[in-house]
Amino acid sequence: MKEMKKNEVPQDEGNLSKSNMKELMYATDENGEYTTALSTGWEPKTIALSNSIDDINERVAEAKLQVKNGEASPIVYFMEVHKMDVGILASYVEMWKWRVKKHFKPKVFKGLSDTVLNRYAKAFSISVSELKNFKAE
């Protein structure tokens, strides 16, 4: 059987953002004693991360299309951009989930007051007019 050896700590160059971020890992030295080593990345993890980024991009594109077709309000689009789900968004805007879901409908969205819109705008770090006037093109 093999063991995690210090000189086998993965040094994958495929780090997604090329951020030079190195992670500390525990590994054994030539005498079997535990020590630490820095790792630049590991392929399975890089693939998992890029898979989840693809997933987010797909969700964003899908939301954009729905806004364009008048099937969803801009809230849905910005929620996806910020990697949120209904539960997370609801806790940021301090509303019930069912209420947030209602605001996903373009018709309901049009009737929302600036006070309510402001809560969403704050959660997405944008202005109310940016939220109101979002055009999916």
Partner 1 sequence: METNFKHHQSAHCENGVASNLLKHSGLHISEPMVFGIGSGLFFVYLPFIKVNHAPAISYRPLPGQIFNKLAKRLGLKIKRTKFASVANANKALDQNLKDNIPTGLQVGVYNLSYFPDEYRFHFNAHNLVVYGKTETDYLISDPVMETVTTLTHDELEKVRFAKGAFAPRGQMYYPVNVPTVVDFSSAIIKAIKNTCRDMLAPAPIIGVRGIRFVAKQIRKWPIKHGTKKANHYLAQMVRMQEEIGTGGGGFRFIYAAFLQEAAAILNNEKLKYLSLEMTQIGDLWRDFAVDASRIYKNRSTQADAYNTVANQLSHIADLEEAFFKKLKAAIS
Asked if 69 is part of the footprint of partner 1 (rule: CB under 8 A), the reply reads no
Residue 62 makes CB contacts below 8 A (sequence gap 6+) with 80
Among 29, 50, 99, 114, binds partner 1 (CB under 8 A): 50
Phi/psi of residue 72, nearest 5 degrees:
-145, 155
Residues 84-103 that bind partner 1 (CB under 8 A): 84-85, 87-88, 91-92
Query: By the 8 A CB rule, do 51 and 43 touch?
Result: no
Asked if 31 is part of the footprint of partner 1 (rule: CB under 8 A), the reply reads no
Note the helical H segments in the chain: 43-68, 74-81, 86-93, 97-102, 106-110, 114-123, 128-132
Among 25, 81, 116, 126, binds partner 1 (CB under 8 A): 25
The stretch near partner 1 (CB under 8 A) out of 11-19, 63-71, 105-113, 128-136 is: 11-19
For residues 97 and 86, give the distance between their C-alpha atoms in angstroms, rounded to a whole number.
Answer: 6
Q: Which residues bind partner 1 (CB under 8 A)?
A: 1-4, 15-17, 19, 21-28, 32-34, 36, 38, 42-45, 47-53, 55, 82-85, 87-88, 91-92
